[in-house]
A and B are shown apart, each in its own frame.
Chain A
């Protein structure tokens, strides 16, 4: 059967699952064939109904924190937000690590359009080799499509700006049509671009070559990764760079539906993290207290021990936890919690929003309960 792989925000729709998994990268294979979580209460196997009932009892009347959600469907995210409202809970995902809101207002481009017409791609603080393994081969650098029939050999130019020589940087460095800029300060690189445009001297000399390449085509884009989104406190100067160079911006958010969560939260609350009890935005400085103050945490499709700073994840391990997840997680293994096993997203149906903002529909291919089903049950019990 043909499935949409939800291992990262590429949302590859060409993955074939038969006796083997075809075309999916290692991340996709691990998601599709990885070891599944088992429904349990405090380490003892249990039925779905029993776990839901215990979970609901845990939530009632307690201060609830809802965390995760980046790897589940838009529909499940919306139900989670409704639970947060109804139970006056705090809701957040990994977005508080980034300063992403301002970046999403920048002019963006669909990956298919970039595949057909794009020339210069600048990976800034991003290593798609790890975060989105098929991004270069599917959309950015290798395809021979539309106006770019000569592919990476003549019709693409790959720039990697990073503080270390990542795997993607290695490709850029050894290619005739690529360039690696080793940076130690994002602001300095932005300033270098602006200064060269203004005809002044700059810190990073490679910028002049990049600007020369940018002039060769109309469609060029910056793919900003965690390195960029975390480090820039405001996007003002970056916005100026985008305006002056006319390039598009695509955030390379590696979690499958991270963008879906961000768009939903901005639309419905105006913020990326929200405390419904105080009816206010949960700013970065309040995150630690929100973790400390909660009685129960509902973790959806996430393993905080793998993704959060130790300071925060350690607090979670001391709380009562309800974990809704498909694959085995470290947090479920080391804590006494209510674990509800669900179907993985490629089979569970629903929709997700790709890193470039395109909504991708996922066909339901399994009868096993999804994250959405469980969240609904949790509300309705």
Chain B
């Protein structure tokens, strides 16, 4: 996972304000948070920045895979063991008679569900990492035996 300083070093550092931010450093932070996109930096799309832009695109591609909560799922590594689904405290609370006791989750819009043998994200708004009062819960990642689940801040 790139840090804001790495991003900043690659930006034009002119503080032109065309992206809507006062400084390039502020833009770097927001780029990492997913609040801004690379295209918002207009000078970066001039010819002189072609090489640098490609480097930035590579760095940002990791961040772009992440969902709103910073969750990244690598389906190729997932074996559908459902440890993440069953250990999730939100699932236990919402579906105590199924996910809570180890069965397949039956609520309509769970955070995660096993579909076609792998875990998929259904509704992240229930996740404890979502929204203003979020907590940095990592239970699903901790219990994944194949490292198919990751969070951007830990990469």
B119 to chain A, nearest CB (A): 10
Contact B104 A23 (CB under 8 A): yes
The one of A29, A138, A143 in contact with B117, judged by C-beta atoms closer than 8 angstroms, is: A29
Contact stretch, chosen from A164-172, A289-297, A323-331, A364-372: A164-172
Q: Does A286 contact B (CB under 8 A)?
A: no
Cα–Cα distance between A23 and B96 once the two chains are bound (Å): 16
Q: Inter-chain contact count A-B, CB under 8 Å?
A: 102
Q: Does A16 count as interface, using CB distance less than 8 angstroms?
A: yes
B79 contacts A26, C-beta separation under 8 Å: yes
CB of B80, distance to nearest CB on chain A (Å): 4
Chain A binder among B11-19, B32-40, B142-150: B142-150
- A152 to chain B: closest residue by CB: B87
B85 at the interface (CB under 8 A from A): yes
Q: Is A125 an interface residue (CB 8 A)?
A: no
Q: Does A115 contact B (CB under 8 A)?
A: yes
- The reply to whether A29 and B116 form a contact with Cβ atoms under 8 Å apart is yes
Known A-B contacts A142-B87, A168-B145; the reply to A115 vs B101 at CB < 8 A is yes
Task: Verify if A333 is at the interface (C-beta below 8 Å from B).
Answer: no
Residues of A within 8 A of B142 (CB): 174-175
Q: Which residues of B34-88 are within 8 A (CB) of A? A: 78-83, 85-87
CB distance from A9 to the nearest CB of B (A): 15
How far apart sit A115 and B118, CA to CA, in the bound complex (Å)?
Answer: 24
A–B complex contacts, Cβ < 8 Å, 22 sampled: A12-B104, A14-B98, A16-B104, A20-B115, A22-B115, A24-B117, A25-B114, A26-B78, A29-B118, A30-B117, A129-B81, A133-B81, A134-B82, A137-B87, A137-B102, A138-B86, A143-B102, A144-B92, A145-B102, A152-B87, A168-B145, A170-B145
Binding site for B on A (CB under 8 A): 12, 14-16, 20-30, 33, 115, 129, 133-134, 136-139, 142-145, 151-152, 167-168, 170-171, 174-175
